[in-house]
Structure formats: structure tokens, C-alpha cells
Amino acid sequence: MTDHVIVTDENAARVIAMRRPDKKNALTQGMYTAMTEAITSAQSNPAIRSIVISGGSGVFTAGNDLEDFARANATGNDDARPMAASRFITALAMNEKPLIGAVDGIAVGIGTTMLFHCDYVLASTTATFSTPFIHLGLVPEAASSLLAPRTMGHQRAFAMLVMGRAVNADEAREAGFVNAVVAPGHTEVEALKVAREIAALPPEAVALSRKLLKPAREDVLRRVEEETQLFGQRLKSDEARNAFAAFFARKKKA
């Protein structure tokens, strides 16, 4: 586990809170592991009716900690990507509990793509969503290449996932992957209200209806595997190596 992820059970909701504010909640392999364990252990607990993922006030997550990501990927084996990140994505795909996203501030990369696994998303007026995979010479992940077009249409998904255009909270709501826009600092509180609303509903009816609304799990996992293979190939490409080298050079100068 890690101090950068705080997991609490509040009434019938499990709250998974990313807490690494000095790094804008950039995700390390330890954070991925902690979140995966929190999601997985909730599945067998009937008292937990929903899961809330939050980043706290002011930031959701800046995505992967690229230094940690690079270290984890430099193991000399042929894994497509660090295993902790892959396990987190699989946990999202396998999750059977209603999943609520509480986004205040930036949501970059996996910070945005994980939201397409959510059943309800709240965003603050300061929230922004971006997926700069192609700028790093990579491809989309977390089944976003399947789920985003299904949610927002091909053209909007292309602009965000391929062209890397950022989306603000109102645009995300219009696109269909944000339910409601609230004041800054209020996303987690509002998410817990949604969790209480879900908890008041018949649990078996909720579970069956959620399953009907979702694409087939097999299709999601198949797309995750396809993306993962391509992601691994791209990590070894000249485009990705040059993009990462440029990123670290800029960071060193800063």
C-alpha cells in the first residue's frame, strides 16, 4: 500500500482518494496497486454498494508519473507496460460495483480514460480532461479506444484521443462522459450524495441493470489486450523514445 492513496468506507460507499498533491496526484506503481486492491476487495463485500474515485480538491490526477513509469518499464523483459498499471485497468474492466468519478481540476491520460469505466461522473467547473498519448508516441489505453467513441461519438473521440485536444467540464458534460458540473471543492461531497442515492435502490436490480448498460466484458478486455500490445510496441518506437527524451530534457531544465 502507499500513503498516496487513502481508502475509506463511508456508509455504503468505498472512497478511493488519490493524495499526492505535490505531484498533482501523478500515479506511481504503488498507487496503482493500492487502488487495484481497493477495487478488487470491494467486489466480495455486499455492504459496499458503490465505489468513488477522487483526487481531492484542485486536482484529479496528472496521469502517470513518467519517471516512475519509465523505471518500471526498464526491467529488461518484454512486458508491454508496467504490471501495476495493467492490473488497475483490468480491475476497472472487471468491477461490478457502480463506479463514481469525482473530478476536481486536471485529469490527464489515465485520469481521463478511467472515467469511461465510471457509471456517474461529477466534475468541478475547473476540471479539464486531456489524453496526450499520441504526443508521447503512444496509443490510447484502458479500452478508451472502444469506450470513448461509444460514449461521445467518433469525431469527438478522435479530437481528444488522437489529436490530444483538451476538454473542459462543460464540453465533457455535452460529450456525455460527465453527468454534472459542480463548484470547485464539492465533487467528492456530491459524489457521496450520488452513492447514497444508489445505496437506496434494490441492489440486485442495480447490478443487473448496470450489466445490461455496459458493453460485454469480453469485448472490453479484448480491447484492453489489443491496446496493451500496441502500447508496448510503441514504447520501443523511435517516436516514443524521442518524445520521452524531450519530456525529461524539458523537466531537467525547469
Residues in the chain predicted with pLDDT less than 70, given as ranges, are 1, 70-82, 254
Dist CA 141 CA 118 (whole Å):
15
Number of domains, the chain: 1
In a domain, 64, yes or no: yes
In a domain, 176, yes or no: yes
Instruction: Provide the residue range defining the domain that includes 124.
Output: 5-186
What is the per-residue pLDDT across 158-202, written as a single tens digit (0 to 9) for each?
999 999 999 999 999 999 999 999 999 999 999 999 999 999 999
The answer to whether 195 and 13 have CB atoms below 8 angstroms apart is yes
Give the model's pLDDT for residue 1: 52
Which helix (H) or strand (E) segment is 186 a member of? none
Determine how many CB atoms are found less than 10 A away from the CB of residue 193.
12
The answer to whether 18 and 54 have CB atoms below 8 angstroms apart is yes
The answer to whether 217 and 143 have CB atoms below 8 angstroms apart is no
In a domain, 150, yes or no: yes
Dist CA 151 CA 176 (whole Å):
6
Dist CA 161 CA 142 (whole Å):
12
In a domain, 237, yes or no: no
In a domain, 202, yes or no: no
Dist CA 114 CA 245 (whole Å):
26
The answer to whether 121 and 101 have CB atoms below 8 angstroms apart is yes
Dist CA 80 CA 238 (whole Å):
16
Give the model's pLDDT for residue 254: 64
Which helix (H) or strand (E) segment is 27 a member of? none
In a domain, 22, yes or no: yes
CATH number at 23 reads 3.90.226.10
Give the model's pLDDT for residue 78: 43
DSSP state of 222: H
Give the model's pLDDT for residue 75: 55
Q: DSSP readout, 23-80?
A: GTTPBPHHHHHHHHHHHHHHTT-TT--EEEEE--SSEEE--B-HHHHHHHH-SSS--S
- Report angle CA 148, 152, 154 to the nearest 5 degrees: 75
Name, in order, each residue with C-beta under 8 angstroms of 182's C-beta and a sequence gap of 6 or more: 122, 123, 124, 125, 190
Dist CA 206 CA 20 (whole Å):
33
- In single-letter form, the type of residue at position 204 comes to E
Dist CA 173 CA 181 (whole Å):
7
Give the model's pLDDT for residue 72: 59
Give the model's pLDDT for residue 80: 42
What's the gap between Cα 3 and its chain centre? 19
In a domain, 153, yes or no: yes
